[in-house]
Amino acid sequence: MFNKKIAKITEQIIGHRDFRISYENACKIAELDKKDTFDLLACTNKIRGNFKSHKVLTCSIINAKSGLCSENCAFCAQSSFHKTGVKEYPLIKKEEIVAMAVKMHDAGASRFSIVTSGLRVSGKEIETICLAAEKIKNLTKLSLCASVGIINQSDAEKMRQSGISRYHHNLETSESFFNHICTTHDYKEDIRAIKLAAAAGLEVCSGGIMGLGETWKQRVELACTLRDLDVDSIPINYLNPIPGTRLEGMSLLTPIDALKCIAIFRLVNPEKDITVCGGKEVVLKNFQSWIFFAGANGLMVGNYLTTMGREIELDIDMIEDMELCSENR
C-alpha cells in the first residue's frame, strides 16, 4: 500500500505554493523504513516535474587553483592538513580558464564554474577570474559561477559586473555536525558570505556532501538551513573517500540512501535547482539515471576537482534517454 503520509505532503507541496514541510515532518519521512523509499521517489519525481518540467541543467567546473588549502575539512584532498598527492598549483592563466569553458560549452554544458582552493582569494586573483568571465560571456552562452571561498562586498560586485551570475559556496553539512568536519573556520562565516553574495545581487549555489557520518536529522537540518537562506541552487555531493584524508576509511552510501538524500532535499526545497555532483559515479553506480526520479533537475558533467567524472557524452545521452532536455539544447 502506498505511503499516505508522503502522498499527502506531496499534494500540499504541489497544491499550495506557500506550503513548507516542517523540520519535524521531514525528519519523520527521512527516517521511514527503506520499503517506503520507492513511494518517496515517485512523489519527488512528481514534484520535480511540477516545478522544473523537463529541463535539466548541466554544470561543469574547472579546478583553477589547486591544493595548499588552509582549512582542515576532513574529506578534502586539497587540505594542507592531508597528504594525498594532489596536484598543487596557483591560479591558472585566464586563457586556460576560457579554453576549458568553450570546450565544455561545445560538449553540451549549460553552466560553468571557476573553482579555487583555499578560504579566500586575493584581489589580483579576483581580477583574473573576472577577466576570464568577461571573455567567456563573449564567446559562449554559458551561465557563469565562481566558487572562490569567502568573499567581501568588493569581490561580489566585481564578479557580478563581469558576467558571473552565481556564487557557489557549500555549507558541506549541518551546523550541528560541522565541527566534526572542519574546525579552522566557523560555520557562521560561511553563512555570512552567502548572505553577502545574495545582497550584492548574485544568485547563490550552496549544498553539501552526503555520507560524512551525519545522521538523517542532520541532512534535514542542512536542507532546512538552505531553505531559510533562500539559495537558488543546491548541489548534492556524495563522499568518495580519498586516501590520506581523515575520512579515508568511511564507507560509501548505498545507492538507495543516496537517492533518498536527493528526495529529502526536494521535499524541503521544491522550487529550487537540485544538482547531483561529485561522487555520483562511485556511489550511484548503475542508478545514476534515477537521480531525476528522486527529484534532481541537474547534474555536474565532466571531471571534478581532484577526481575523475565520466565522459560528458554519456550524461547528455542519459538525459535524452530519460526524455528530458539539457538547458544547452
Structural domain contains residue 5: no
**Which has more confidence, 307 or 237?**
237
The alpha carbon of 250 is separated from its chain's Cα centroid by a whole number of angstroms, namely 21
Q: Which CATH number is 183's domain given?
A: 3.20.20.70
For the chain, give the mean pLDDT. 93
pLDDT tens, position by position, 65-113: 988 899 999 999 989 888 888 889 999 999 999 999 999 999 889 999 9
pLDDT tens, position by position, 198-231: 999 999 999 999 999 999 999 999 999 999 999 9
Phi-psi region of 139 (alpha: psi -120 to 50; beta: other; left: phi over 0): alpha
Residue 165 pLDDT: 96
Structural domain contains residue 60: yes
Structural domain contains residue 306: yes
Residue 306 pLDDT: 63
Residue 253 pLDDT: 97
pLDDT band at 2 (very low <50, low <70, confident <90, very high): confident
Domain span at 198: 22-326
Residues near 106 by Cβ (< 8 Å), separated by ≥ 6? none
Residues near 275 by Cβ (< 8 Å), separated by ≥ 6? 57, 59, 207, 233, 234, 235, 236, 296, 297, 298, 299, 300
Which grid cell is 66?
589547486
Structural domain contains residue 8: no
Q: Is the pLDDT of residue 284 over 80?
A: yes
Q: Is the pLDDT of residue 314 over 90?
A: no
DSSP code of residue 35: G
Structural domain contains residue 6: no
List Cα–Cα distances, 196 to 145, 152, 193, 200, in angstroms. 16, 7, 5, 6
Helix pair 187-199, 216-229: axis angle to 10 deg: 30
Closest to 100 in 3D by CA, of 136, 147, 67, 128: 136
Residue 312 pLDDT: 83
Structural domain contains residue 195: yes
Structural domain contains residue 68: yes
Q: Is the pLDDT of residue 275 over 90?
A: yes
Structural domain contains residue 15: no
> What's the total number of domains in the chain?
1
CB 85 within 8 A of CB 117: no
Residue 325 pLDDT: 77
Residue 328 pLDDT: 63
